[in-house]
A and B are shown apart, each in its own frame.
Chain A
Amino acid sequence: MIGPFVATAIIAVSPLAFLQFFAWYCHSLIAKSREVGLSESAREISGVTRRTVRGDQFIRLRQLIALFPEPGGDIYKLRAVSIYFGMLGFIHDQLSRAFPAAAKWIELERSGCAYAAAVVLDGRMTYSRTLISRQLVS
């Protein structure tokens, strides 16, 4: 009798623990991005005001990112943040009517995701410029 009871308890607890750890992990990735300032051109494209980017810009930024070649290493961060952004969207759809305060928090979180995407876009734009200038020189 103990076996199924333990399994059920673990099934109930582990998804919550997973969400919590994954959110913290993504926060750590976003916090690292926040340490990076954006260039003027990236600010213009992503519509940055001071250090915030609107959450609804995330999808547009991802589409823009796809247009540039990858310098290597940023795709993992982008995927993790995209999954987190998707999870926030799901929570927003389910909870925002019942808990309006949650909608505000979710928008702040999505804004963080969008800032991380803007940093990735900025990195890729810089990389593309370097590639083009190298080609011009050669």
Chain B
Amino acid sequence: MKFVVLGGAGDMGSEVVADLAQFSPESKVAIVDLRKDVAEKKAKSIGLPNIVVEQCDVNKRDDVLKILKGAQVVVNCVGPFYKYEKVILPLAIEAGTGYVDICDDHDATERALSYSDMARSNNVTALIGMGWTPGITNVLARLGSDRLDKVESINIYWVGSIADSEGLAVTKHVFHVIQGTAPSYEDHQWIDVNALSGNEDVKFPDPIGVQNAYYVGHPEPVTIPRYIKGVKNVTLKGTLLPKDINKLGKFLVDTDAVSTEKKLNAVSEFLSGDLVVLSNLFGSKDKPLPVSGLRVDVHGTKSGRQKTYSWGAIDSMSRLTGIPASIGAQMMAKGMIKQIGVIPAEACIQPEHFIEELKKRDIEIEEM
């Protein structure tokens, strides 16, 4: 058995590699990355004998196909996904390789779902958005819905800290999802809401506590109403730590500083260049915790009474994202995911098994 992790030398990808190598010791795990030196350093630091390094530029179609054809499951961690999902997913389908990704962009998710017929014709399972949010959030949405007789609303929230991420793709993703409109599902219909609006105080697990979250463009409202039948509302709100960094994001959006890809790339590269300075400028009073979190509230009725299930989790962004992707890839490799086509976590991941696997890695789902 061979797992391939595209972008495996990155912040999220290396966590996927470490988990796969540890929990599937009989399998070979390939870190596939453009930066061979960084990949070799990561492999050495993880220090497990079943890891190999392969260099590849994901923009080179034939090179990617060759690597994918040699693997049973590929985990795609190459972001930003609004740019690379449409490049890599079709290649995995063409190669006939099982596919898992951590796609967190709503527009890329809509496009990915459109490849489902192609995946079904090639007998391929493509599990998309199998990270932290989407990923853990979708599985918790499924768990809550399964416990209710009728599900009414699913409200999902995330908080990400700038002291907890260093990848350029994360910064680009944030600017991508806080501008323009964001998809939301309200009163049985998909609607567009203004990103950065709908502010709401949300309690996350301690020590993060209460944070002010707002609408952002994310995949959960796109996929959940398709697979959790009868749900009336699915909303998604996010926020950043330290609190004041949200003001910088809003300022850059309001002044059109990130409104084109060129501008977004330039600003992201500039800001990612010195997160330590940024963290001190905006976190002088409120130093950002190096931790991220999520919360999922599922409302509905059970035995004729109103009932709400609320869960939360906190950990480093890389663990919250990389570990679910690894668990998904291992479930796929073991034949535990029967569906074919392009599918999100709520359509195919058995919640109790998944939560048990998270627990083995010391990620606790807390009742809120």
Partners in one complex: no
